[in-house]
Amino acid sequence: MKTPFLRLGPVLPAVLLLAAGCGKPKEPAPVPSEQVKSGPSLSGEMEVYVPCGVAGPYGAIQELFQKRYPDVKIHFDLANIDVQTKRILNGKGTPDVFLSLGDREVKAVAAKGLVDGDPLTYAYNSVGLIVERKNPCDIEDIRNITSPKVKTVAVPSQSNSSGYYAELALKKAGVWGGLQGRLWVTDQPALVKEQLKAGRAQVGIVYYPCTRETSKVGGEQQHVQGKVQVLGKIPTDLSGPIPAQAAVIKGCSNPEAGRAFLKFLREDPVQDIWEEWAFDRAVEAKTGARTTLYVYCGAGIRPFMDPVVEEYKKAHPEIRLDVGYAGSGCLLSQLSFARRGDLYLPGEDYYLNQAKERGFLIGQKLVAYLEPVLIVQKGNPKKIEQLADLARKGLKVGVGEPEACAVGRAAEAMLKQARLFDKVRRNIVLRAGNVPELGNQVTLKALDAAIVWNVTATQVAGSCDEIKLPKTAYEPSPVPVGVLKFTKHEAAARAFMGFCASPKGQDLAKAAGMTPAEGSPPA
C-alpha cells in the first residue's frame, strides 16, 4: 500500500490551525469596568427590607457592598413587600434601606413624611404575562386575554406597583372592561403564580423579573417552572416603565450607610446585576461593550444598515451591534424559531406587519421609503428609456418573485397599472427571490434590465445605469424598524430604533439611495 499521503494526515489540521492564527477570532477586548472607589469608611449595623421579588439580585449586590464596606454589618428582612410597607407606615419598622420593586410603595411611605432625603430610582421594572403550561387558552399577548377560554385572571392589587401598572397596561390595551368579573386580586403578588399552579387562574400578571425565580437570597436564577409558563414582557408602551425605587427611612439607625447603599445601587457593576435579573438599567453602561443588540436586517437594505452601524458605534461604544443579514421573509422565520434578538428591520412593512400579528413587536418606527426604478447595463446598450420599453421584443428582463419579495409585488402592480403586464411578461427571464440578485444579474450582463429598488440601483451604480420612473407610476414602499419582544435590552433597542429614524439616520438612508421618511410619503 502506498503511504506518502499518510503524512498529510497530521499536517493538514496543523497547517489549518496555523492559518487560523491558533486562536479565536478576535473580538474587542472588554474594557475593565470602572473600579469602585473606596468611599468614606462606614461602620455600624444596617437593616435592609428586601421584598421576595429581589431576593436573587440582592444576594449578589450585598456581597459586592460588603467588599466595599466590610465594617458595615447588614441585616436583611426578607418578606412580602405589602407587609414591609405596612410595617413602615405603622411605625413598626424603620429600616435603613427600603428596597422596593416599584414606586407606589415608596410614594405611600414618602406621603407620610417617612422618607429621609429623596427616594432613588435604581432600575426600571416591568410586568409580564404568565399562563398555564403549554398555554391551553392560546393567549398570544395582553390583547387577547379576554378570550372566552380564560375564566380567571390573577393580578396583584392596586396598592402594589405591579398591580397598579398591570391595570394601566390592561386599560391601555383596551381589555380592562372585558375582564371585569374575571379578575382575582391579591395583596400578595407571589400568590399570582400560586393561583396558576393550582389551576385556579389561566392567566396572571406579575413583575417580569419575578419570572426568574429564586427561593432565597443569593439563590441561582431559574425560570418559572412547573405548571406555569412565561409568555413575555408586557410592552412598556402599555404599562409605562416602572421606576424601581429605594429609600432611606426617617429615623433609622444608620442613615449614612443607607445613603451609601442607595448610591451604590446605581453603580455600573450593580446595574449589570439588575439587568441580569431582567430589570432595565437606570444608568446606561459607561464603559466596555456590555450590551449586544442583535439586529435581523433584510439583505436588500444592507447599504443603509452598514453605515448606520458604523455611525452608531462611534456615538455609543458601549453598544455592540450584531447584524444578521438575509431575506426579510427568511429572517421572520428565523426569529420566530429562535425567539431571541432585539430588532427587526425587514425591507418592507409587509413582513413587519406579519411579525406584529404574531405578537413579536413591542414598538416600531418608520425609517424610509423604497421606490422602484429601472436598472440597465452600463451605457444602456439596449436604449431602454421607460417602462414601456421593457415590452420590446427580445429583451431579457428580471423582476422579483411577487411571493418572495416586495420589489416583485411592486413591479407587478406597476406593470399592471401601466397595462404592460402581459406584454412584458413574455420578456421576463428571471423572477428573483431577492433584490440584490437582480442587481447582480444586470451587473453580470445576464439581464438587459430589471425593476429594482432605488437602494439597489445606488448599490450597483458602478456597473449599471439607473432609469428613474415617473412618481405617478408606483406606490413607495415603507421600510420600518421594530423592537422585538424577546429583547433583554429594551431601552438600548429603542434607542437604536430612534437613531434609525432620527435626522442622522435619515441622512444615511438618503446616502444609501432610499427616500427618507421625513414628513409625508414622497409620492
Partner 1 sequence: MPEARRRARVSLFRYLVVSGLLLMVGIITVTLLSMATYVDAGTFASAIASREVLFAVKLTALTTTITTALAVALGIPAGYALSRYRLPLLTLIDTLIDLPIVLPPLVAGIALLVFFGTPFGQWIERNVMPFAFTTQGIVLAQFVPASSFAVRALKAAFDGVDPRLEQVARTLGCNERQAFWRVTFPLARNGLVAGAVMTWARAAGEFGPILMFCGATRFKTEVLPIAVFLNMSVGNVEMALCVTIILMILATGALLAFKKLGGRGYLW
Contacting residues toward partner 1, per CB under 8 A: 1-3, 5-6, 8-9, 12-13, 16-17, 19-21, 24-25, 223, 294, 296, 299-300, 302-303, 306, 322-326, 330, 333-334, 337-341, 434, 436-437, 439-440, 443-444, 456, 459-460, 463
Cβ proximity of 154 and 205 under 8 Å:
yes
Provide the H-helix boundaries in 339-386: 349-357
Q: With respect to partner 1, which residue has the nearer C-beta, 69 or 296?
A: 296
CB of 246 to partner 1, least distance (A): 28
CB of 299 to partner 1, least distance (A): 4
CB of 5 to partner 1, least distance (A): 5
CB of 436 to partner 1, least distance (A): 5
Cβ atoms within 10 A of the Cβ of 412, count? 18
CB of 208 to partner 1, least distance (A): 17
Edge-to-edge strand order for the sheet containing 361-370?
319-326, 291-298, 343-345, 477-484, 361-370, 515-516
Exposure class string for 270-280: b at 16+ Cβ within 10 A, else e: bbbbbbebbbb
- At 369, the amino acid letter reads Y
Q: With respect to partner 1, which residue has the nearer C-beta, 119 or 303?
A: 303
Q: With respect to partner 1, which residue has the nearer C-beta, 77 or 276?
A: 276
Q: With respect to partner 1, which residue has the nearer C-beta, 109 or 435?
A: 435
> Of 374, 358, 367, 376, which is closest to residue 410 (Cα–Cα)?
374
CB of 322 to partner 1, least distance (A): 5
Q: With respect to partner 1, which residue has the nearer C-beta, 299 or 495?
A: 299
Q: With respect to partner 1, which residue has the nearer C-beta, 380 or 463?
A: 463
Q: With respect to partner 1, which residue has the nearer C-beta, 187 or 306?
A: 306
Are β-strands 319-326 and 291-298 bridged in parallel, bridged antiparallel, or unpaired? parallel
CB of 224 to partner 1, least distance (A): 11
> Of 319, 269, 330, 273, which is closest to residue 296 (Cα–Cα)?
330
Q: With respect to partner 1, which residue has the nearer C-beta, 290 or 302?
A: 302
Which residues are bridge partners to 280 per DSSP? 124
Which residues are bridge partners to 481 per DSSP? 365
Q: What angle do CA 218, 219, 224 make, to 5 degrees?
A: 135
Q: Which residue has the cell 434607542?
A: 495
CB of 338 to partner 1, least distance (A): 5
Which long-range CB contacts under 8 A does 503-512 form with residues at least 24 apart?
A: 504/311, 505/308, 505/367, 506/368, 508/304, 508/307, 508/308, 508/311, 509/304, 509/367, 509/368, 509/479, 511/307, 512/301, 512/303, 512/304, 512/307, 512/455, 512/458, 512/459
CB of 151 to partner 1, least distance (A): 27
Q: With respect to partner 1, which residue has the nearer C-beta, 119 or 436?
A: 436
